[in-house]
C-alpha cells in the first residue's frame, strides 16, 4: 500500500460536463473512461445496441455452413475447450447450443499439467478414435499451426474460435473466427473466448426463434468474460450486465450450490463476485486437479452431483490458496537475494503448474514489475508470465520464439514451454529486453485517481449514481477518489493476524467508516490527519448494508505524493 504514485486524471472540460446531461461527478468519470459525448447514452444504457452482428466476424458464414452440413449428415462433432473459466464456459455454451439442434457434441477439456494450453496430439488422437469428423475449438487454436495441419492430415475438419492474438499466419482450418484477426470487421475486438463462442451460436440460430434460450446462456458468458479479465467495454459491457441478471436468478443447480457454499447472496452478485469468489473456485479444479469437475458443475442436472462438486471445488480452492501462498513465500525469499532487475524470473521443480500464474500475478501486484514463474521439468519447463502496461510480455516472447517449444497469450498475461537446456539463454534475452524497455522508467505502482472530493460530496444519491457505470472490472474500473485533510477519529487493526485496518474518519460534520485490507501499518503508525485514496462501496455488516470507504492508499496530510 505504500510508495505508490498518485496520479489525478485530467479534469473534464466544462464543455463536456455541460453537454453530458449527467451530474458533474458522473461526467468526470465518463470522461476518464474515454466516453465521447455521443456515446454517453449508449454507455449508460448498456443495451442490445452494443451487440455486433455475428456475421461480421471473419469466416463466420463458412463455420455456420460446415456445422449445418455436419448436423444434416449426422457427423460427430467435438468441442475442444481450454481448462480455465473462459474455456469451460465456452465449451458448455456450444455443447448446450448444439444439443438444441439435435446433436450431442463431445466436450474435450485438456489437462493443465499433462497437456497444457492449446491443441495437443493426444486430444486429437482421442477424438479421432471416437469417430469425430468436425472439431470446433473454443478459447484456443489460433496459434496452433502445426497441430491444425495434423488434424487435417488425420481426416478431421476443424473450426477455430479464439480471442487470442494470431500469429503472422493463420492455422489451416475450415474457418478461423477471432475478433483479433487483422481483417476482422467486428466492432468489439475484446470478446472473451466465451463471447466468441456465443457469437457462433447466435449465428447458428440466426432468425431461429430461440431468444430466451440464448439469453439464459448469458450467465456463462458473464462468468467467462469477467474471469478472463477482458475489458468490460463495448459489447462485453452488455453481455456481462445481462449475464449478471441471469446469474442472480440462476437455474443451474451447480451454480446455486456454489453460490450458497461461498456465502454469496443471490440477487446481489456483481462482476466482483465472479472475479473474487466464483471464478477462483471454478479455476481451482484445473489448478489442483482436472477442469472436468467445473464443467460438470455448470452442466449437471443432478442435485446430489451438484452438491458433491460444489463441496469438492470449495476444498480445492482452499488447497489452491494454501499452495499459492507457500510458493509465493518461497519465490520472494529467493528473489530477495538477487539484484533489483526490471524483470522477476524464478523457477523450481516443486512449483505446481496450476499456481505459477497466480504467483506471478501476486508478484506483479506487489512489485509492479513483470514476473515469470517456472515449473522446471527434467526436459521441458513451463512458464507463466504476468506483466505491467509498460512491457508487452507476449511481444517479448515473440522475439524469443526460436528458443520456445510453444507460447501464447496477451500483452499482460502469457505462458510458454521451453526446453530446459535453452532456459538460461531465454532468461538472458528476456532480461535484456526488459532492461532496454524499463530501466529508465519509474516502476512504482501508479494509482489513478478519478476525482478529488470532500467527504460531503459522497452524501445523498452519489453511490446510486456511480452504480449506473456498472459492471466494473478490467477496462471499466470502480471509481477511485482522493480526499485530503481527513481527521482519524478512531483506528484499530483487525482480521488476519491484525493485518487489516478499520478507521473512523471525520471531515467537517461528515463521518465515514473506512477499511484497508492492504496496509502493512499498525494503528500506532497512522497520523491524526491523513490524505486518503479510496473506492466507495457497499458492504454487509451485522445483517445490514452499509456504505464505507475501501482505502487504496493513505499518507500524512499535506505530504507530496
Is residue 419 domain-shared with residue 526, that is, in the same domain? no
Instruction: Look up the CATH number of the domain holding residue 64.
Output: 3.90.1640.30
Cβ-based neighbours of 560, under 8 Å, separated by 6 or more: none
Cα separation, 502 vs 490, in Å, equals 8
Q: Nearest 5 degrees, angle CA 471-CA 540-CA 495?
A: 105
**How many domains are there within the chain?**
3
Cα separation, 371 vs 346, in Å, equals 8
Is residue 450 domain-shared with residue 534, that is, in the same domain? yes
Cα separation, 159 vs 77, in Å, equals 11
For residues 320 and 355, the answer to whether their CB atoms sit within 8 Å is yes
Inter-axis angle of helices 85-100 and 292-299, to 10 degrees?
A: 40
Could you list the pLDDT tens digit for every one of the 561 residues in the chain?
446 889 999 999 999 999 999 999 999 999 999 999 999 999 999 999 999 999 999 999 999 999 999 999 999 999 999 999 999 999 999 999 999 999 999 999 988 777 777 788 889 999 999 999 999 999 999 988 989 999 999 999 999 999 998 988 999 999 999 999 999 999 999 999 999 999 999 999 987 878 889 999 999 999 999 999 899 999 999 999 999 999 999 999 999 999 999 999 999 999 999 999 999 999 998 888 888 999 999 999 999 999 999 999 999 999 999 999 999 999 999 988 776 789 999 999 999 998 999 999 999 988 889 999 999 999 999 999 999 999 999 999 999 999 998 888 888 899 999 999 999 999 999 999 999 999 888 877 788 999 999 999 998 889 999 999 999 998 899 999 999 999 998 888 877 666 788 889 999 999 999 988 876 666 677 889 999 999 999 876 666 778 899 999 998 988 777
Taken in order 282, 283, 284, 285, the sign of the CA dihedral is positive
Cα separation, 127 vs 140, in Å, equals 16
Q: Nearest 5 degrees, angle CA 209-CA 211-CA 213?
A: 105
136: in domain: yes
Longest dimension (CA), the chain: 76
**Residue 440: strand pairing partners:** none
Cell of 186: 467486428
347: in domain: yes
Peptide bond into 471 cis (omega under 30): yes
> How many CB atoms neighbour CB 399 within 10 A?
12
Cβ density class 447-470: b for 16+ within 10 Å, e for less: bebbbebebeebeeebeeebeebb
Instruction: Please tell me the predicted confidence (pLDDT) of residue 1.
Output: 43
278: in domain: no
Instruction: Please tell me the predicted confidence (pLDDT) of residue 116.
Output: 74
Cα separation, 22 vs 43, in Å, equals 12
214: in domain: no
> How many CB atoms neighbour CB 14 within 10 A?
10
Cα separation, 46 vs 41, in Å, equals 8
431: in domain: yes
Instruction: Please tell me the predicted confidence (pLDDT) of residue 541.
Output: 63
Cα separation, 28 vs 18, in Å, equals 11
Instruction: Please tell me the predicted confidence (pLDDT) of residue 490.
Output: 86
Is residue 58 domain-shared with residue 205, that is, in the same domain? yes
Q: In 3-state terms, the chain is what percent helix, strand and coil (to 5)?
A: 45, 20, 35
Is residue 379 domain-shared with residue 479, that is, in the same domain? no
Cα separation, 432 vs 429, in Å, equals 5
Cα separation, 165 vs 178, in Å, equals 8
For residues 286 and 296, the answer to whether their CB atoms sit within 8 Å is no
235: in domain: no
Last residue of a domain, one of 389, 412, 438: 438
Is residue 71 domain-shared with residue 194, that is, in the same domain? yes
Cα separation, 101 vs 71, in Å, equals 8
Instruction: Please tell me the predicted confidence (pLDDT) of residue 484.
Output: 95
Is residue 106 domain-shared with residue 201, that is, in the same domain? yes
Is residue 358 domain-shared with residue 460, that is, in the same domain? no
Element (H, E) at 253: helix 253-261
Is residue 66 domain-shared with residue 196, that is, in the same domain? yes
Domain coverage including residue 481: 5-11+446-556
Tell me the pLDDT tens digit for each residue of 322-381.
999 999 999 999 988 776 789 999 999 999 998 999 999 999 988 889 999 999 999 999
Cβ-based neighbours of 3, under 8 Å, separated by 6 or more: 444, 445
Is residue 387 domain-shared with residue 481, that is, in the same domain? no
> How many CB atoms neighbour CB 443 within 10 A?
17
Instruction: Look up the CATH number of the domain holding residue 425.
Output: 3.10.310.30
290: in domain: no
Last residue of a domain, one of 209, 227, 250: 209
For residues 403 and 429, the answer to whether their CB atoms sit within 8 Å is yes
Instruction: Return the SS3 of 378.
Output: coil
131: in domain: yes
Instruction: Please tell me the predicted confidence (pLDDT) of residue 542.
Output: 63
Is residue 372 domain-shared with residue 433, that is, in the same domain? yes
DSSP class of 404: -
Instruction: Look up the CATH number of the domain holding residue 496.
Output: 2.40.50.460
Is residue 534 domain-shared with residue 552, that is, in the same domain? yes
Instruction: Please tell me the predicted confidence (pLDDT) of residue 162.
Output: 97
Cα separation, 428 vs 162, in Å, equals 31
> What's the CA dihedral at 188, 194, 198, 201 to 10 degrees?
130
For residues 223 and 246, the answer to whether their CB atoms sit within 8 Å is no
Cα separation, 304 vs 550, in Å, equals 39
Cα separation, 309 vs 245, in Å, equals 24
Last residue of a domain, one of 190, 209, 228: 209
Nearest to 46 by CA among 207, 249, 244: 244
Is residue 487 domain-shared with residue 458, that is, in the same domain? yes
Amino acid at each position: 500500500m505504500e510508495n505508490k504514485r498518485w496520479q489525478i486524471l485530467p479534469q473534464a472540460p466544462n464543455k463536456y460536463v455541460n453537454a453530458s446531461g449527467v451530474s458533474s461527478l458522473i461526467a468526470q468519470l465518463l470522461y476518464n473512461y474515454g466516453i465521447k459525448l455521443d456515446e454517453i447514452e449508449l454507455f449508460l444504457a448498456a443495451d442490445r445496441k452494443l451487440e455486433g452482428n455475428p456475421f461480421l466476424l471473419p469466416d463466420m458464414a463458412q463455420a455456420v455452413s460446415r456445422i449445418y452440413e455436419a448436423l444434416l449428415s449426422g457427423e460427430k462433432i467435438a468441442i475442444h475447450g481450454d481448462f480455465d473459466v473462459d474455456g469451460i464456459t465456452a465449451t458448455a455454451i456450444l455443447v448446450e447450443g448444439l444439443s438444441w439442434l439435435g446433436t450431442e457434441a463431445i466436450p474435450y477439456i485438456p489437462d493443465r499439467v499433462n497437456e497444457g494450453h492449446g491443441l495437443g496430439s493426444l486430444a486429437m488422437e482421442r477424438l479421432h478414435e471416437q469417430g469425430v469428423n468436425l472439431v470446433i475449438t473454443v478459447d484456443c487454436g489460433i496459434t496452433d499451426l502445426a497441430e491444425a495441419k495434423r488434424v487435417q492430415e488425420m481426416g478431421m475438419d476443424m473450426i477455430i474460435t479464439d480471442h487470442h492474438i494470431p500469429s503472422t499466419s493463420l492455422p489451416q482450418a475450415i474457418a478461423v473466427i477471432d475478433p483479433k484477426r487483422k481483417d476482422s470487421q467486428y466492432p468489439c475486438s475484446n470478446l472473451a473466448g466465451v463471447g466468441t463462442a456465443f457469437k457462433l451460436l447466435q449465428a447458428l440460430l440466426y432468425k431461429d426463434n430461440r431468444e430466451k434460450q440464448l439469453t439464459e446462456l448469458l450467465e456463462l458468458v458473464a462468468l467467462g468474460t469477467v474471469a478472463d479479465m477482458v475489458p468490460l467495454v463495448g459489447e462485453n459491457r452488455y453481455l456481462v450486465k445481462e449475464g449478471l441478471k441471469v446469474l442472480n436468478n440462476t437455474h443451474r443447480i451447480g451454480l446455486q450450490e456454489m453460490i450458497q457454499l461461498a456465502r454469496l447472496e443471490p440477487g446481489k452478485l456483481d462482476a466482483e463476485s465472479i472475479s473474487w469468489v466464483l471464478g477462483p473456485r471454478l479455476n481451482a479444479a484445473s489448478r489442483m486437479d482436472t477442469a472436468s469437475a467445473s464443467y460438470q458443475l455448470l452442466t449437471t442436472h443432478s442435485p446430489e452431483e451438484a452438491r458433491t462438486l460444489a463441496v469438492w471445488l470449495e476444498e480445492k480452492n482452499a488447497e489452491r490458496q494454501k499452495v499459492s501462498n507457500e510458493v509465493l513465500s518461497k519465490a520472494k525469499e529467493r528473489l530477495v537475494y538477487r539484484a533489483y532487475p526490471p524483470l522477476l524470473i524464478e523457477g523450481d521443480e516443486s512449483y505446481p503448474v496450476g499456481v505459477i500464474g497466480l504467483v506471478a500475478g501476486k508478484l506483479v501486484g506487489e512489485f509492479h514489475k513483470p514476473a515469470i514463474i517456472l515449473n522446471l521439468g527434467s526436459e521441458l519447463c513451463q512458464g507463466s508470465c504476468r506483466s505491467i502496461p509498460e512491457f508487452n510480455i507476449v511481444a517479448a516472447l515473440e522475439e524469443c520464439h526460436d528458443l520456445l517449444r510453444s507460447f501464447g497469450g496477451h500483452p499482460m498475461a502469457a505462458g510458454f514451454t521451453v526446453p530446459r537446456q535453452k532456459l538460461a539463454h531465454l532468461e538472458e534475452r528476456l532480461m535484456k529486453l526488459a532492461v532496454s524497455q524499463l530501466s529508465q522508467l519509474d516502476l512504482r505502482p501508479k494509482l489513478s485517481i478519478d476525482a478529488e472530493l470532500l467527504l460531503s460530496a459522497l452524501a445523498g444519491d452519489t453511490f446510486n449514481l456511480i452504480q449506473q457505470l456498472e459492471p466494473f472490472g478490467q477496462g471499466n474500473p470502480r471509481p477511485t477518489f482522493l480526499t485530503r485533510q481527513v481527521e482519524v477519529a478512531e483506528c484499530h487493526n483487525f482480521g488476519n493476524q491484525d493485518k487489516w485496518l478499520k478507521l473512523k474518519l471525520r471531515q467537517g460534520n461528515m463521518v465515514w467508516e473506512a477499511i484497508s485490507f492492504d496496509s502493512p501499518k499498525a494503528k500506532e503508525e497512522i497520523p491524526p490527519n491523513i490524505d486518503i485514496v479510496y473506492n466507495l462501496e457497499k458492504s454487509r455488516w451485522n445483517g445490514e448494508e452499509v456504505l464505507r470507504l475501501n482505502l487504496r492508499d493513505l499518507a500524512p496530510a499535506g505530504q507530496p505524493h
